Amino acid sequence: MPPRANIRDVAALAGTSVSTVSNLLNGRPNRMRSDTVRRIEEAIESLRYKPNRSARTLKTGFTPAIGLLVPSVANPFHGAMAHAIERAAQARGFQVLLGNTLRDAARERQCAADFFAFGIRGVIATSSPFDLEHFADLIGRGLSVVALDMVNNNTDAERAMDSVSMNNHHAGYLATQHLIDLGHRRIGYVSGATPTMSRRDRLNGYRTALLAANIEIDPTLIAAGESHSGYDDIHGAEHGRSAALSLLALADPPSALVALNDMHAVGACAAVREIGRIVPDHVSVVGIDDINLAALLDPPLTTVRHPIKALSEAAVDLLVNRIEARERSPSRQIVFEPTLVVRGSTAAHAKNKTVLSKRRHIRSAVNV
């Protein structure tokens, strides 16, 4: 077999220098002309050249990979997010190493430190806490961090952490407003522990929608206390079930439920069935995230769609750009808006079905 091509062979065939080829391989094509890029790419393809990543890591101390810290891939949402981030990273020439942190700051910091020791210079953190101070010393040593599903307002360039998030307040508002539009007034909120930015914002969105509709906020309709399973990333469906059961057992139970996320909504639907009632005939349920299973449930789940693909691509772009720039700059924040996806788990309140039916009949008659 012919000897394996090396970077000098590529440079010779392309008629350029080794350093120019290295710039392209390390994601810096902006430093050369387009015809130079084309010649190098053609030479790489012709020689079937594959960079020796191990040698490059030993020489530079840099690994073309990013770390991804998630609470737990047991939650399908985090699994889908990890998949989207991996695809976006691979498109930029980076691999992804995964760490499950269970939203524990010490564990999260240790994972990031281990990644850094292996030459990884960028991490995406998805735990959505109120601050990321546990990363401060690593950032000072050169680690780049992008916070997912939270907004970081720290503009100090020396401790900059970019952030990408869905507008979680609006997500909670959309879910609640949909039920209000259907005539529901007793609307419960199914959640777990709330000491994260995203969970707090979704709950506040629920409250904002009620107040805007002149509906008094009833604390007994909010099941958002601590749980035995921490933040419920592993046992979200079970906690959603038990929280919904407690609300449905009230003397004046809710006719509709907003769930923190789709896994809590799955549990809430199970609770409705457990007491011999039907979704949505007796109780309407709305989730948040739009995980892959949402459309396959019976009935299909009405939910608020989390723009996972766009959010993941933006997070990877921010991180890779900061890694490759190797410079300090103020934090950047990107916020995406959610969208409501109406399916079969919600229906008009029983007292309003006749009115809504008459309105639809009138509209049909007018259209005819």
Percentage, residues of the chain above pLDDT 70: 83
pLDDT over 90 at 92, yes or no? no
Q: Which residue matches tokens 């069935």?
A: 273
C-beta of residue 98 within 8 angstroms of C-beta of residue 71: no
For residue 153 the two structure tokens come to: 């307002």
Of 34-48, 53-67, 212-226, 244-258, give the lowest mean pLDDT range.
53-67
All residues at 6 or more sequence positions from 211 whose CB lies less than 8 Å from its CB, including other chains: 217
271-294 pLDDT, tens digit per residue, is 999 999 999 999 999 999 999 999
Are 215 and 183 spatial neighbours (Cβ–Cβ below 8 Å)?
A: no
Task: Check whether residue 182 and residue 100 sit in a common domain.
Answer: no
**pLDDT value at 58 more than 70:** no
Nearest Cα to Cα of residue 163 among 175, 173, 154, 174: 154
pLDDT-based confidence at 157, cuts 50/70/90?
very low
> Does residue 299 sit in the same domain as residue 159?
no
Tell me: do 222 and 354 sit in the same domain: yes
Q: What is the CATH number of the domain that holds 354?
A: 3.40.50.2300
Say what the pLDDT of residue 229 is.
45
Does one domain contain both 35 and 87?
Answer: no
Regarding beta strands 339-341 and 302-305, do their DSSP bridges make them parallel or antiparallel, or are they unpaired?
Answer: antiparallel
204 and 153 in a single domain? The answer is: no
Task: Judge if 233 and 321 occupy the same domain.
Answer: no
Beta-bridge partners for 289: 305
Q: Mean pLDDT in the chain?
A: 86
Note whether 145 and 258 are same-domain residues: no
Domain count across the chain:
3
* 365: pLDDT strictly greater than 80: no
Summarize the confidence of residues 13-22 as an average pLDDT.
Answer: 88
In a domain, 366, yes or no: no
Task: Work out the end-to-end distance of the chain between its first and last CA atoms, rounded to an integer number of angstroms.
Answer: 77
63, pLDDT greater than 60: yes
Specify whether 352 is located in the same domain as 211: yes
Least confident stretch, 130-134, 300-304, 318-322: 130-134
- Is there a domain that residue 101 lies in? yes
- Give 106-145 pLDDT, tens digit per residue: 999 999 999 998 889 999 998 888 778 899 999 988 899 9
Q: Mean pLDDT across the stretch 225-230?
A: 49
Residues 136 and 280 in one domain: no
- 272 and 231 in one domain? yes
Q: What is the predicted pLDDT for the residue at 256?
A: 98
- The count of C-alpha atoms lying within 13 angstroms of the C-alpha of 164, restricted to the half-sphere facing its C-beta, is 23
Confidence of residue 22 (pLDDT cuts 50, 70, 90): confident
Let me know if residue 142 belongs to a domain.
Answer: yes
The helix/strand/coil state of 80 is helix
What is the tens place of the pLDDT at every residue in 176-209? 999 999 999 999 999 876 578 898 999 999 999 9
Q: What is the DSSP string of 247-312?
A: HHTSSS--SEEEESSHHHHHHHHHHHHHTT--TTTT-EEEEEE--GGGGGSSSPPEEEE--HHHHH
Mean pLDDT of all residues in 24-49: 81
| Same domain (yes/no): 209, 115 | no
Q: What was the pLDDT predicted at 352?
A: 66
Domain match, 150 and 288 both:
no
Residue range of the domain that includes 133: 60-166+308-337
